């Protein structure tokens, strides 16, 4: 079964599948004359105010996401090198997090395509792997077998990162937009489908 949903990460706590309510503005209109009397209807005035506030809201949302990601990845380390990983590096731009497990046959089958997509979009998207539900030796063997060594893999042995994104099964993908929103897809994605999702991500 495949599930796609938007989740919210908060720096104060690790969340599961918390829904985000998004505010949308009406269609754009012509700029009004500053000297004209205020004849706009209340709804139109509210929409105009929303459009004016959007950039600041988006900046605040992105900053909040960076803080949340920094906390979520605070105790994580990279597979192989054991180096600390700064989760805030996933914010401010478009990023994709691929959740996999070493014993997952679907993960293993899609891994070479994930690596190819990561290389293709390297200049536009930051794509990392987050393996969990397994032993470090098995994770390292998976990476060697599937040719995904060019990706940064951040281990999640205690499951905190998966839980923060509301991921309960593997494979899964989190698409982190540069506006601060996060969409999570539970299930496998072939190369073409993953490329389509990334194209949508960088287009917004």
Of the CA atoms within 13 Å of residue 99, those in its CB half-sphere come to 25
What is the extent of the structural domain holding 144? 1-20+40-204
Residue 33 belongs to a domain: no
Partner residues linked to 152 by β-bridges: 128
CA distances from 60 to 31, 52, 53, 92, 139 (A): 26, 14, 11, 11, 36
What digits encode the pLDDT tens for the residues 132-165?
988 999 999 999 999 999 999 999 999 999 999 9
Q: At what angle do helices 136-146 and 105-120 cross, to 10 degrees?
A: 60
Residue 31 belongs to a domain: no
Q: Which of 96, 108, 116 is nearest to 134 (CA)?
A: 108
CATH number of the domain bearing residue 67:
3.40.30.10
Residue 183 belongs to a domain: yes
What digits encode the pLDDT tens for the residues 96-126?
999 999 999 999 999 999 999 999 999 999 9
**DSSP assignment string, 161-174:** HHHHTT--SSSEEE
The pTM of the full predicted model, rounded to 2 decimals, is: 0.74
Residue 112 belongs to a domain: yes
Residue 97 belongs to a domain: yes
Residue 34 belongs to a domain: no
Count of domains observed in the chain:
1
């Amino acid at each position: 079964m495949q599930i796609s949903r938007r989740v919210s990460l908060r720096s104060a706590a690790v969340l599961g599948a918390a829904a985000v309510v998004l505010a949308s503005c009406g269609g754009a209109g012509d700029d009004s004359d500053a000297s004209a009397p205020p004849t706009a209807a209340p709804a139109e005035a509210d929409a105009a105010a929303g459009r004016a506030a959007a950039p600041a809201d988006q900046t605040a949302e992105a900053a909040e996401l960076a803080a949340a990601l920094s906390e979520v990845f605070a105790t994580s380390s990279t597979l192989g090198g054991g180096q600390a990983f700064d989760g805030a590096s996933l914010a401010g731009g478009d990023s994709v997090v691929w959740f996999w497990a070493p014993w997952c046959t679907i993960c293993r089958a899609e891994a070479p395509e994930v690596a190819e997509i990561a290389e293709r979009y390297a200049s536009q998207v930051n794509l990392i792997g987050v393996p969990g539900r397994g032993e470090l030796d098995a994770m390292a063997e998976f990476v060697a077998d599937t040719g995904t060594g060019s990706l940064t893999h951040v281990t999640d042995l205690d499951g905190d990162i998966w839980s923060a994104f509301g991921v309960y099964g593997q494979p899964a993908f989190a698409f982190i937009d540069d506006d601060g929103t996060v969409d999570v897809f539970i299930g496998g994605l072939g190369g073409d489908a993953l490329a389509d999702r990334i194209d949508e991500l960088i287009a917004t």
